[in-house]
Amino acid sequence: MILYPAIDLKDGCCVRLKKGDFDQKTVYFENPVETALMWQNMGGEFLHLVDLDGAKDGISKNVAVIEGIVKALNIPVELGGGIRSMEQLERYFSMGVERAILGTAALKNPEFVRSAVQKYGDKIAVGIDAKDGAVAVSGWLEVSDTDAVTFAKEMEQIGVKHIIYTDIDTDGMMCGPNLKGLSAMVNAVPTVGIISSGGVASQKDLECIQKTGAAGAIIGKALYQKTINLTEAVNALKG
């Protein structure tokens, strides 16, 4: 299982939110490039990068910062947040982003996902953010009527190979992941690698996620509040 240290960008800074609430924002570092290098130096294998401004508004204010992070790192970067066109995909891939995460666009325009997968293959991931089992979009400001597992199956049929599954009620709360929801997702789409996001607070949480068969786990607030040491976590899962 791959561990993904997370950086959430807002107004060029590295922040964390509680349950996706933009009014509950904590700024941890003002230099995201230095933060990314820190996670790489501690053994991070793949960086998870979210453009919160893009997710909320559909317009990124962080393109220069994203490019700076990608150019500074030797490890791959996956990026999500407000990616809603083939032009944006081309722009991010041309600057070196390894994997692009489609969220709102995937739900509202499945044909866009289909076209993206046809062109870019497994460089395309879909983010499924769930609240009470339903898919939330637009920076989690809008909850749809679409069942998360049903949507995952639709994405699998399109050919998506990576899904980032986030349980909104646990995100940023450090109360443990929603293992029931995660297990249901892993079992529903056997040809897709499920990356768990939300709620991780301890090494034990990571071990529980690994037991579900998830392909990866994203760690955010637990790293910033130092309840998990990334180097130790990576080594423990390999051991």
pLDDT tens digits for range 5-28: 999 999 888 887 776 667 777 888
pLDDT for the residue 19: 64
- The Cα–Cα gap between 1 and 205 comes to 13
Catalytic-role residue among 8, 167, 171, 205: 8
Select which of 51, 53, 129, 171 is catalytic.
129
CB atoms within 10 A of CB 77: 23
What are residue 79's phi and psi, to 5 degrees? Answer: -130, 135
Q: Which pLDDT score, from 0 to 100, does residue 226 have?
A: 94
Q: pLDDT of 121-162, one tens digit each?
A: 999 999 999 988 999 877 566 888 999 999 999 999 999 999
CA distance 154 to 123: 18
For residue 51, what pLDDT is reported? 94
| Residue 162 contacts residue 193 (beta carbons within 8 Å) | yes
Check if 21 is active-site.
no
pTM given for the model:
0.92
State yes or no: is 11 an active-site residue.
Answer: no
Residues paired with 16 in a beta bridge: 26
Nearest by Cα to 67 from 97, 28, 36: 97
CB 62 within 8 A of CB 125: no
The low-confidence residues of the chain, meaning pLDDT below 50, are: none
The per-residue pLDDT for 139 is: 59
pLDDT for the residue 57: 76
